[in-house]
Amino acid sequence: MPLTLHTIKPFSGSKKKVKRVGRGLGSTGSYSGRGQKGQRARSGGRKGLKLLGMKRIIMSTPKLRGFKSPYPKMIAVKLSSLDKKFSDGERVTPKTLLEKGLVGKMKVAVKILGDGELKKKLVIEGCAVSASAKEKIEKAGGTIK
């Protein structure tokens, strides 16, 4: 069937009919779920927040939704950058990476990735290492503790 203007239909279930209230005995009759008299019973009733200060606080708070992982992502460091910054036989720890400027504020763990080449013997401590990086470090004569 060709898609033309007169054949376009919304997806089934995407359009939900609003329940009409107050139109007969079988449809939430008499007061229509609004209670008795007063501002809330009238159309357009029930005004918003009265305190402007409170409204600003509520509007400025972010609408946080969804799942936040309790395990933050690791900071990735390439082997090529280790080769440039570290000398032969030097220890690589999260603290030394911070001192050399390879990572920013140390709040999360560090993972060494196998990008680039490594020609120096390095001793790696307290860092997660990818499989390709481990292979290259051991090939260059380094160790992982």
User: Sign of dihedral through CA atoms 53, 54, 57, 58?
Assistant: negative
Tell me if residue 33 falls in helix, strand or coil.
coil
Q: Specify if 27 maps to a domain.
A: no
Q: Specify if 52 maps to a domain.
A: no
Q: Specify if 137 maps to a domain.
A: yes
Q: Which of 19, 143, 20, 127 is nearest to 74 (CA)?
A: 127
Q: Specify if 124 maps to a domain.
A: yes
Q: Specify if 3 maps to a domain.
A: no
Domains identified in the chain, total number: 1
| pLDDT per residue rounded down to tens, the chain (145 residues) | 789 999 999 998 899 888 888 888 878 888 888 889 988 888 888 777 666 777 777 888 888 888 888 888 889 999 999 999 999 999 999 999 999 999 987 777 899 999 999 999 999 999 999 999 999 999 999 999 8
Q: Specify if 9 maps to a domain.
A: no
Which tens digits make up the pLDDT trace of 27-44?
888 888 888 998 888 888
Q: Specify if 57 maps to a domain.
A: no
User: Sign of dihedral through CA atoms 128, 132, 135, 141?
Assistant: negative
Tell me if residue 135 falls in helix, strand or coil.
helix
Query: What is the pTM assigned to this prediction?
Result: 0.53
Domain of 108, in residue numbers: 75-144
Residue 124 is part of a domain; what is its CATH number?
Answer: 3.100.10.10
Please, are residues 142 and 122 in contact by the beta-carbon 8 Å criterion? yes
DSSP letters spanning 41-105: GSTT-S---S-HHHHHHHHHS----S---SSPPPEEEEHHHHHHH--TT-EE-HHHHHHTTSSSS
Q: What is the pLDDT of residue 50?
A: 66
